[in-house]
Structure 1
Amino acid sequence: MFENLQEKLQRTFKNLRGQGTITDENISEALREIRLALLESDVNLTVVKATIDHIREKAIGTQVATALSPTEQIIKIVHDELVEILGKDTAKFKFSSQPPSVILMAGLQGSGKTTTAGKLAAWLKKGGHRPMLVSVDVYRPAAREQLAIVAKSVGAQIYIGKTGDDEAGTPLVERLAKEALREARNFGNDVLIVDTAGRLGIDTALMDEMSKLKALLNPSEILFVADAMTGQDAVNSADAFHKQLGITGVVLTKMDGDARGGAALSIRNVTGAPVKFLGTGEKPDAFEPFHPDRIVSRIMGMGDLQTLLERAEEKLDRGKAEEFAKKALSGDGFSLEDFRDQLRQIKKMGSMQSILKMMPSVGPFQGLQQAAENVDEGQLTRTEAIINSMTTKERLNHEIISGSRRKRIAAGSGTSVQEVNQLLKQYGQMRKMFKGLGSGGGKMQRRLMSQMGSMGRGGGFGR
């Protein structure tokens, strides 16, 4: 989502190398490049101007610290400024002192509000909460049915309610909201997520309805869901909702698409409301809290190892990982069955592209970001299919796999003999490298890093 900005900033920093002091002369060109990079990433013009002014003010005349080069000094200044724009600290999620806490989902049609409500429920469940969902969108055809399907997919409770007339004359939207709140209390749900109706644009009817729901439910959070691919339109819509409703946070969806990231860098500065979550895919778990410092690290090419480690801790089986490491580093190595188990573990963490893009793009890891673009995700599936087509005896002892067996395995997995040969060759190389690492060979460690890079550039997992 920030690849274009990251690439341009890295190029700008390289041009500063070799300077002893940061001066007006050698910073001006860098600031022009940074300004252009921010604008091309669809960052709000006012935000860009303020950012450039702050960087210039902090950089001009600054003596380069003994431990830092001018490039590193500028990187630090830009890093700190971007963190300042995004809000420094991760915005905390608010809960009511008296459950259930009500979360009001707001946004325009097509922003991904209903899907986000389900993802939020899944995220809350992982944190030990008991969310209930309700849709008060009585206008869009099948809107309430859609939320029911989403709720079922994440295993969350949902209140359906009846849509008939109310004898007391209470508007249907308000009645559904009140009934859902009562049901949440009765069933012991500590969170009620209310999926509201959207419009094609901001109008009086939409805002009146949202204001009534806010007064009726006294929500702990009013989350504005915005499509990040709409760029500055998302920022403007968030600003309009904030002025009339006082939103407490923003959720940016479709951040895995062609979004240039400008909305993420603009929203807090323009609206005053923090970005709280990012939607990064279609699946229920493609949803993550917005950490400003980690996002800036990604932009600056420093990667996001903290999020990667958290994902690994959540998704991977530690016992299996330790068992694999023990086998891999022992003299006996590991079998193709162990290799298949590790592929399955890796797939739990998401796509190889998403994993590689969380690695730094500087220093010894410089080639990984480029490798991410060439990853063939289908290769992991084909590799697993090849191993699945082997007998247990073959998986435990690859040396018995003769030419006739390779033909049978290729036919059974829907692949070619060449692909089977390639897998066995790479597997053999990995066994040797891991064995060298187990004996403490520093050269083998370097060879392992080189092999990983070649696989990403078009070897085992590349196109």
Structure 2
Amino acid sequence: MFDSLSDRLGSVFDKLRGRGALNEADVREAMREVRIALLEADVALPVVRRFIDSVTEQAVGQSVLKSVTPGQQVVKIVNDALVEMLGGDDVPGLDLAAAPPVVIMMVGLQGSGKTTTTAKLAKLLKEKHGKKAMMASLDVNRPAAQEQLKVLGEQVDVATLPIIAGQQPVDIATRALQAAKLQAIDVLLLDTAGRLHVDQQLMDEMQAVAAISTPKEVLLVVDSLTGQDAVNVAQSFTAQVPLTGVVLTRMDGDARGGAALSMRAVTGKPIKFAGTGEKLDALEVFQPSRVAGRILGMGDVVSIVERAAAAIEEEEAERMAARMAKGQFDMNDLRQQLRQMQKMGGLGALAGMMPGMKKAKQAMEQSGMDDRVLLRMDAIIGSMTPKERIRPDLLNAKRKIRIAKGSGVQVQDVNKLLKMHQEMERAMKQIKKMGGLAGLGKLFGGGGLGAAMPGLGGPGAGGGLPSNLNDLLKKK
């Protein structure tokens, strides 16, 4: 979402970093470019003014201009200001401390992704917080809205309130509360009706449901792709309903990002969650510092670690670690690694979160390289016999032709995969010789995925991850 803004800000800060000393005129010129970049990203004008005034005031101070690295100091000030704009480091979580059932009321316009977000949140509460949840659809206007929530409930294994045709929202809410109490439900999620635009009938209905259900959380679901209109919608709801937070959907889209950057400053309500995809597990707790890091090209290593923890099973990790310690790495191991990368969001998502990998991600996009590469490599390995996967050295020209035909690729694609495997296998043996994690840097810095995939070459010797990874691992 923030790619365009990130590119603009990156070019501004590259100029600042390239200068040994800065004067006030340099800083003000840079801030003028930052202001234009934020306005082009569709950030609300009052928010931009406050942001630029705050950053400029700090950046022209003597402690910055006379520091050893003034350019880096300015970047840090901008980063801190972005974090503050997005809500600060202490974003409040959901208030689930009240006596059950805790009611969470989901509000928003039609088409914002409210029903799907309700199911995503129920799944997150069940799996991450261990809560027994129930969902109830109060949308009696949109055709099949209640049926949609029922289907989603079955997919995430969360109970939904049985549908009674003709019942009105307030009556449905009353029945949902009674059912939740009888079934010892911890959290009751009410998916309210939406409209194509804000009107008084919608607000009256929201207020009536809130009065009967006394929700602890009222979450406004907003589509990030609607730009500045999303901010106007948020202001309208804030004036009528006691909102406690905002959920931004389609944060993985190609919008300019202004709505996300403006929402917290304009409404005064924290952004609590962000929808990052269509899958029902694609809902993340909104972390301002991580989003700011991505915008400024600083990466988001914490999110990578969290995705890895979710994608990699403990038993599989232990098995892989034992094989690495012995310097073993066959095609089955490579296939497992490729599938884990797919679970973690694919090449583009991972590259976008790695510090210093912005240019590598752009190179991947320009070369037409996408996650289909992972699928093709998986297909190549799938076309090998079990014996060939364990012993790739058996693959002669005739076998390679058979594998290429079986997986629908060219023989040179098979050769590229084999080369990548050889590089990674060599790195595994180096890990064994070097006695542990210190050798892992060679897996990425001197070959492996980076060397075997054109367009993935980052700042390292030929790999896709930063050249300082080895140093980072040595510190552990």
Deviation larger for 47-56 or 156-165 = 156-165
Confirm or deny that 1:370 pairs with 2:362: yes
Deviation by residue 1:321-342 (Cα, 9 ceiling, x = unmatched): 24324423534x3111121122
Deviation by residue 1:147-169 (Cα, 9 ceiling, x = unmatched): 1111111111101231246xxxx
Q: SS state of the match for residue 188, structure 2?
A: strand
Confirm or deny that 1:265 pairs with 2:299: no
Matching residue of 2:467? none
Matching residue of 2:468? none
Q: Which structure 2 residues correspond to residues 354-433 of structure 1 after superposition, within 5 A?
A: 354-361=349-356, 365=357, 367-373=359-365, 374-433=368-427
Deviation larger for 269-278 or 340-349 = 340-349
Q: SS state of the match for residue 194, structure 1?
A: strand
Deviation at 1:351, TM superposition (A): 2.0
Matching residue of 1:169? none
Q: Which structure 2 residues correspond to residues 3-402 of structure 1 after superposition, within 5 A?
A: 3-17=3-17, 19=19, 22-64=22-64, 68-88=68-88, 89-126=90-127, 127-164=129-166, 172-328=168-324, 330-331=326-327, 333-361=328-356, 365=357, 367-373=359-365, 374-402=368-396
Q: Distance in 1 between matches of 2:65 and 2:455?
A: 41
Q: Which residue identity lines up with residue 394 of structure 1 in the other structure?
A: E
With over 3 angstroms needed to count, the CA separation of the structure-2 counterparts of 1:32 and 1:450, relative to structure 1, is: farther
**Is the Cα contact below 8 Å between 2:299 and 2:355 reproduced in 1?**
yes
With over 3 angstroms needed to count, the CA separation of the structure-2 counterparts of 1:207 and 1:436, relative to structure 1, is: same
Q: Which residue identity lines up with residue 104 of structure 1 in the other structure?
A: M
Q: Distance in 1 between matches of 2:331 and 2:19?
A: 53
Q: Distance in 1 between matches of 2:425 and 2:104?
A: 51
Deviation at 1:20, TM superposition (A): 5.6
Deviation at 1:96, TM superposition (A): 4.7
Match of 2:428 among 424, 434, 453: 434
Q: SS state of the match for residue 188, structure 1?
A: coil
**Is the Cα contact below 8 Å between 1:226 and 1:253 reproduced in 2?**
yes
With over 3 angstroms needed to count, the CA separation of the structure-2 counterparts of 1:455 and 1:394, relative to structure 1, is: closer
Deviation by residue 1:275-312 (Cα, 9 ceiling, x = unmatched): 11111110011110101111111111111111111121
Q: SS state of the match for residue 250, structure 1?
A: strand
Q: Distance in 1 between matches of 2:184 and 2:360?
A: 47
**Is the Cα contact below 8 Å between 1:83 and 1:296 reproduced in 2?**
yes
Q: SS state of the match for residue 240, structure 2?
A: helix
With over 3 angstroms needed to count, the CA separation of the structure-2 counterparts of 1:387 and 1:456, relative to structure 1, is: closer
Q: Distance in 2 between matches of 1:265 and 1:436?
A: 45
With over 3 angstroms needed to count, the CA separation of the structure-2 counterparts of 1:454 and 1:398, relative to structure 1, is: closer
Deviation at 1:445, TM superposition (A): 4.2
Deviation at 1:173, TM superposition (A): 1.2
Q: Distance in 1 between matches of 2:29 and 2:299?
A: 26
**Is the Cα contact below 8 Å between 1:367 and 1:453 reproduced in 2?**
no
Q: Distance in 2 between matches of 1:292 and 1:8?
A: 20
Q: Distance in 2 between matches of 1:213 and 1:181?
A: 11
With over 3 angstroms needed to count, the CA separation of the structure-2 counterparts of 1:17 and 1:382, relative to structure 1, is: closer
With over 3 angstroms needed to count, the CA separation of the structure-2 counterparts of 1:367 and 1:440, relative to structure 1, is: farther
Deviation at 1:256, TM superposition (A): 0.8
Q: Distance in 1 between matches of 2:440 and 2:95?
A: 50
With over 3 angstroms needed to count, the CA separation of the structure-2 counterparts of 1:410 and 1:244, relative to structure 1, is: same
Q: SS state of the match for residue 133, structure 1?
A: strand
Q: Distance in 2 between matches of 1:434 and 1:93?
A: 44
Q: Which residue identity lines up with residue 312 of structure 2 in the other structure?
A: L
Q: SS state of the match for residue 47, structure 1?
A: helix
**Is the Cα contact below 8 Å between 2:417 and 2:452 reproduced in 1?**
no
TM-score (norm 2): 0.89
Q: Which residue identity lines up with residue 328 of structure 1 in the other structure?
A: M
Q: Distance in 2 between matches of 1:414 and 1:67?
A: 58
TM-score (norm 1): 0.92
Q: Distance in 1 between matches of 2:36 and 2:135?
A: 43
Deviation at 1:244, TM superposition (A): 0.7
Deviation at 1:115, TM superposition (A): 0.7
**Is the Cα contact below 8 Å between 1:91 and 1:275 reproduced in 2?**
no
With over 3 angstroms needed to count, the CA separation of the structure-2 counterparts of 1:349 and 1:457, relative to structure 1, is: same
Deviation larger for 137-146 or 58-67 = 58-67
Deviation by residue 1:353-385 (Cα, 9 ceiling, x = unmatched): 111111112xxx464332453532112112112
Deviation by residue 1:31-61 (Cα, 9 ceiling, x = unmatched): 1110011111111000001111111111113
With over 3 angstroms needed to count, the CA separation of the structure-2 counterparts of 1:119 and 1:447, relative to structure 1, is: closer
- List alignment gaps of at least 5 residues for structure 2: 458-462, 465-476
Deviation larger for 415-424 or 304-313 = 415-424
Q: Which residue identity lines up with residue 275 of structure 2 in the other structure?
A: G
Q: Distance in 2 between matches of 1:90 and 1:456?
A: 39
Q: Which residue identity lines up with residue 387 of structure 2 in the other structure?
A: K
Q: Distance in 1 between matches of 2:439 and 2:213?
A: 64
With over 3 angstroms needed to count, the CA separation of the structure-2 counterparts of 1:191 and 1:288, relative to structure 1, is: same
Q: Distance in 2 between matches of 1:341 and 1:447?
A: 16
With over 3 angstroms needed to count, the CA separation of the structure-2 counterparts of 1:94 and 1:447, relative to structure 1, is: closer
Q: SS state of the match for residue 339, structure 2?
A: helix
**Is the Cα contact below 8 Å between 1:106 and 1:223 reproduced in 2?**
yes
Q: Distance in 2 between matches of 1:268 and 1:367?
A: 30
